[in-house]
Amino acid sequence: MNLQDLIALKEKALNEAQTAADAAALEAVRIAYLGRKGKLPEIMQELRNVSPEERPMFGKTANELKNELTDIIKAKQSSFSDGRAAAAGFDLTQPGQWQGLGTRHPITQITDRITQIFQTLGFTVADGPDVETVWNNFDALNTPADHPSRDEQDTFYLKNGDLMRCHTSPVQVRYMMAHKPPVRIISPGRCYRRDTPDATHSANFHQVEGLFVDEHVSLADLKGTLSYFARELMGPNVKVRFRPHFFPFTEPSVEVDFTCHVCQGKGCRVCKNSGWIEILGAGMVDPNVFSAVGYDSSTLSGFAFGMGIERITMILYGIHDIRNLYENDVRFLSQF
């Protein structure tokens, strides 16, 4: 091919593009010239064989062919689609319709907020599966064989003997088995219980688990940490109360109440006139749990805690029925 041929080819190509009658014809022109196996790659190959005097002009013309053809094709493509849009009754110059941004689900918002508060204290997020072994969910957590929570009435068992975890506490077990102390983790996640759904119960809900293990960790550390958490979550004026309680996996165990966010502790309908709202369970890790995971309880101590995210979300946002959180009614969700 010499320069003369190329100039003729360019004319032909531009003409074909200009006269293409519809989008399919235009696409055929594009493929014939600009496609991977089209004329243009062929021409570029040809460049080597062109005489040195003609070569600069040949290269320039080839480039013009490419650029001009591309421009024509682009312009025609949009005129074809404009035409189609006009035929279908669309005015492409109209502004688009704003579809609105979604919001994060309230459960996600509160989970993130709780997680962030503990992250500022150096806790890292740990994860565990929803399907657990009986050992991780109960045995390693020092839960006696006849403990009522093991009952089939309360826990979902799978055919293979595993279960749907009924709390996030098994993440403690997994984490300690896989990591050396010190440990500082927070673990949000789904839990499952055989509860009949009503305004305050759901068979599927969320918890956040926390675990701190090191040498010389004391109940004072637990109180300090959870009091800080309370102030960060509820504001600087919240008061915190620790009541003796029992959990198999901690000794001693406590339940932790915050002053009622509605009456600030004066007593109202929401807190049943007590001034307090129960928020979480906690305690010092039981030595039996340390033995189960292979930690030395003669040198180590730690505290753990667990809280229900739905409960806290409902308290903070004044939601009265837990089912609102699962129905995904946009009129409800868009308020948060």
Nearer to ligand DAH by C-beta: 6 or 126?
126
Of the candidates 10, 167, 184, 206, which one interacts with ligand DAH according to CB under 6 A? 167
Q: Verify binding: residue 283, ligand DAH, rule CB under 6 A.
A: yes
**Strand spans (E) along the chain:** 124-125, 131-132, 163-164, 183-192, 204-214, 240-247, 250-259, 276-285, 301-308
Q: Verify binding: residue 136, ligand DAH, rule CB under 6 A.
A: no
Nearer to ligand DAH by C-beta: 66 or 245?
245
Q: Verify binding: residue 257, ligand DAH, rule CB under 6 A.
A: no
Q: Verify binding: residue 306, ligand DAH, rule CB under 6 A.
A: yes
Q: Verify binding: residue 202, ligand DAH, rule CB under 6 A.
A: no
Query: Which of the stretches 18-26, 181-189, 194-202, 280-288 binds ligand DAH when contact is defined by CB under 6 A?
Result: 280-288
Query: Which of the stretches 30-38, 76-84, 288-296, 304-312 binds ligand DAH when contact is defined by CB under 6 A?
Result: 304-312
Nearer to ligand DAH by C-beta: 248 or 265?
248
Nearer to ligand DAH by C-beta: 249 or 276?
249
Query: Which of the stretches 62-70, 217-225, 287-295, 302-310 binds ligand DAH when contact is defined by CB under 6 A?
Result: 302-310
Q: Verify binding: residue 281, ligand DAH, rule CB under 6 A.
A: yes
Q: Verify binding: residue 247, ligand DAH, rule CB under 6 A.
A: yes
Query: Which of the stretches 26-34, 99-107, 108-116, 278-286 binds ligand DAH when contact is defined by CB under 6 A?
Result: 278-286
Spell out the residues 6+ positions from residue 174 whose beta carbon is closer than 8 angstroms to its own.
126, 128, 136
**Distance between CA atoms of residues 172 and 301, nearest Å:** 14
CA 17 to chain centre: 49
Residue 225's CB is within 10 A of a number of other CB atoms, namely 20
Q: Verify binding: residue 292, ligand DAH, rule CB under 6 A.
A: no
Could you please report the per-residue DSSP string of 27-85? HHHHHHHHSTTSHHHHHHHHGGGS-TTTHHHHHHHHHHHHHHHHHHHHHHHHHHHHHHH
Q: Verify binding: residue 248, ligand DAH, rule CB under 6 A.
A: no
Q: Verify binding: residue 305, ligand DAH, rule CB under 6 A.
A: yes
The radius of gyration of the chain from alpha carbons, rounded to an integer in Å, stands at 34
**Distance between CA atoms of residues 247 and 285, nearest Å:** 10
Q: Verify binding: residue 250, ligand DAH, rule CB under 6 A.
A: yes
AA identity, residue 54: E
Tell me how far, at minimum, the Cβ of 297 lies from ligand DAH, in Å.
15
Tell me the sheet residues that pair with 191: 205
Token pair listed for 179: 């990591």
Nearer to ligand DAH by C-beta: 10 or 167?
167
Tell me how far, at minimum, the Cβ of 144 lies from ligand DAH, in Å.
15
Which of 260, 288, 261, 287 has the alpha carbon at shortest distance from 274?
260
Nearer to ligand DAH by C-beta: 132 or 209?
209
Nearer to ligand DAH by C-beta: 143 or 259?
143
Q: 281 and 308 in contact (C-beta within 8 Å)?
A: no
Q: What is the 3-state secondary structure (H, E, C) of 112-129?
A: HHHHHHHHCCCCEECCCC
Nearer to ligand DAH by C-beta: 209 or 310?
209
Which of 87, 82, 73 has the alpha carbon at shortest distance from 18?
73
Place of tokens 């053809």: 69
How many residues bind ligand DAH (CB under 6 A)? The answer is 12
Tell me how far, at minimum, the Cβ of 329 lies from ligand DAH, in Å.
28
AA identity, residue 1: M
Q: Verify binding: residue 132, ligand DAH, rule CB under 6 A.
A: no
- Given the rule CB under 6 A, which residues bind ligand DAH? 167, 169, 209, 247, 249-250, 281-283, 304-306
